Structure 1
């Protein structure tokens, strides 16, 4: 029996050490190999163009910034030509831009970050739940810590005539991604957990409309896009931009249909590379402009508001991709939707560098390239790259733990046979 406990303890210790090593190795990128090792913008972008040839990507627009300046732009298309003025839908990258609008209202004293959201609502109310809806605050909605369990995910509508009203979508989104019921409710205690919620940003969209007295699209144009001179950016589809709209593709290369959204703040921003580049200069640490946000409020957006697995993950409307020195993080947001749209924005406030990638036709090309840019620049795995590696990490853990267990059992049996001779 004593020998059994000895081997049992050895097995537990060995398996624990192996699990920690695999987790840390994945988290720290000890054995991760990016698609390129080239740091210089022109060489990095050239490597991206080579990488495109290995898989299907319908359209791509990319910008790399270095030392506060636009260093390199590049484009790719399978059909209609793409340039810096081509309009892309950017999926959940919309949230990052929408958060700037919400923070504009906070800065002007029209919203209180820590006030209950219900304080600003007249057109719709959160349904009753087992939790206190008064604990759903603006801060928690912006940081995905409001306890909302919708998991939305909006697929959009193929016919603009079928678009729901904002109130109807909040009650039961008809365009919810498969596997989600489309119901926005408080399902866990607010403030206890980071839980990504598209519905939370749809609720913020309603709050912006209630407080400003304007449509969300009109408010964002007046308070964010006009000050930044983003002249081809909008949330409500504008038919004047039809000819400059990027073509949509399925992953197999076939053409896909343009979709329309009620959930504008969460999913529906249309913009161009030329416009979205202006967000980099807006975030530039050396930019003292007061429009649309002062440096103080820009800084507030990238402070830690939520953690997952003990690591910072989200600020106010922005992912905290990778921790840097001086208490800073590489910030930004990615977007992913169907038919395949994948977009990525990364800004490094310490090096004053960044990358923007807008794509159609691939579900993850932009995220992979942007995450590899982070790794090449910093040697660190960013938050979304870690998520993409989780399945591989778990598989490695299971296989390794099984091998350790089998080896220890085999050693125990061999020793037992020897001792019985």
Structure 2
């Protein structure tokens, strides 16, 4: 199972994907909601066939609310996907964990800069003094120093760098954070998420763990070798494997964008780039997709639980996810109150996502740099 972080500004050769009509659409006045939905409905079946992806579910957010969804394809052999289909959202689990923590911090149930070690120290690092440097903020902004997974370091959790001095994407960091919150409150982390996020947002079709109501609703992962059994778990995973519907997650992203349930101070902190990781080469490549005659200024890095991109003064917030046979993506633009979520159950789903973002994003540079 893969959970590899896709840096926004690793620009891939787009080739035929960005044809002249797509460029004209990106540069023209933004189409209406109805026109966008019609185009996705019309083009998505062809993209699924072209890239050998069984299904895709798309949610579009406008005016800060879920505006529409489109679901096309098969969730499993011979079974059509619907807006009730449950997808493994892979690393889009992490924004849910982040929102749980930020809401708790807004209620003073924990502090973003408090030390974690009084409540949790992993046995693998108990003798390392750097363990006392870890805080919720460092976990949320991927500054723990941990590898993505401890299996990448011979099954032992260890520091690759001193916490707070560099950035390095880490699912282990989110596990560490969730164990801290669980131990501090005395409640299982999935229950904390239910109390802080799923319940208040009305997310009744979302779960960290396998449930009886999953029956007949699961999108099976798909590779070029065929369908695979769904990856299910009986214990919560703070970095992966949440199952949800496109409708639930669309409402979730809209609520995050509206800053519901968090304080103004924390809402502002969420969108601060901790460490700009865009190289000069990445900037130059990204800006080749800028509208001719327009200056191009772009930076990107981690905020609190989300990647934050600032392009010509406009902030775009996003996250992606991938497991074997699964690709997902979500983004929103706070100043425009727009955004989108895409779930796919295919190995080549990132290519379908790229096509969809070209239609739904009004920013040609962002659309061009989303993994496809």
Q: Which residue of 1 aligns with 2:303?
A: 315
Q: 2:18 aligns with which of 21, 29, 34?
A: 34
Q: Which residue of 2 aligns with 1:333?
A: 319
State whether residues 91 and 335 of structure 1, in contact with CA within 8 Å, keep that contact through their aligned partners in structure 2.
Answer: yes
1:297 aligned to 2:270?
no
Call closer, same or farther: CA 1:367–1:314 in 2, change over 3 Å: farther
Q: Which structure has the bigger radius of gyration?
A: 1
Call closer, same or farther: CA 1:299–1:43 in 2, change over 3 Å: farther
Secondary structure in 2 aligned to 1:264? coil
Call closer, same or farther: CA 1:198–1:123 in 2, change over 3 Å: closer
The separation in 2 between residues aligned to 1:52 and 1:32, in whole angstroms, is 16
State whether residues 330 and 347 of structure 1, in contact with CA within 8 Å, keep that contact through their aligned partners in structure 2.
Answer: yes
Q: Which residue of 1 aligns with 2:110?
A: 111
Residue by residue over 1:50-77, the C-alpha shift from the partner in whole angstroms, topping out at 9 and shown as x without a partner, is 3222111122111122333444421122
Q: Which residue of 1 aligns with 2:285?
A: none
1:74 aligned to 2:70?
yes
Secondary structure in 2 aligned to 1:194? coil
Secondary structure in 2 aligned to 1:132? helix
Q: Which residue of 2 aligns with 1:54?
A: 50
Q: How many residues align?
A: 328
TM-score relative to the length of structure 1: 0.70
Secondary structure in 2 aligned to 1:60? strand
1:99 aligned to 2:98?
yes
Call closer, same or farther: CA 1:87–1:116 in 2, change over 3 Å: same
State whether residues 219 and 230 of structure 2, in contact with CA within 8 Å, keep that contact through their aligned partners in structure 1.
Answer: no
What is the RMSD computed on CA atoms of the aligned residues?
Answer: 3.0
Shift of 1:281: 2.7
The one of the two structures with greater contact order (alpha-carbon pairs below 8 A, sep at least 6) is 2
State whether residues 143 and 306 of structure 1, in contact with CA within 8 Å, keep that contact through their aligned partners in structure 2.
Answer: no
The separation in 2 between residues aligned to 1:188 and 1:142, in whole angstroms, is 16
The separation in 1 between residues aligned to 2:156 and 2:330, in whole angstroms, is 29
1:85 aligned to 2:84?
yes
The separation in 2 between residues aligned to 1:32 and 1:211, in whole angstroms, is 52
Call closer, same or farther: CA 1:295–1:238 in 2, change over 3 Å: farther
Shift of 1:27: 6.6
Q: Which residue of 1 aligns with 2:291?
A: none
The separation in 2 between residues aligned to 1:191 and 1:32, in whole angstroms, is 41
Gaps of 5+ in 2: 1-8, 280-298
Gaps of 5+ in 1: 1-24, 153-172, 390-421
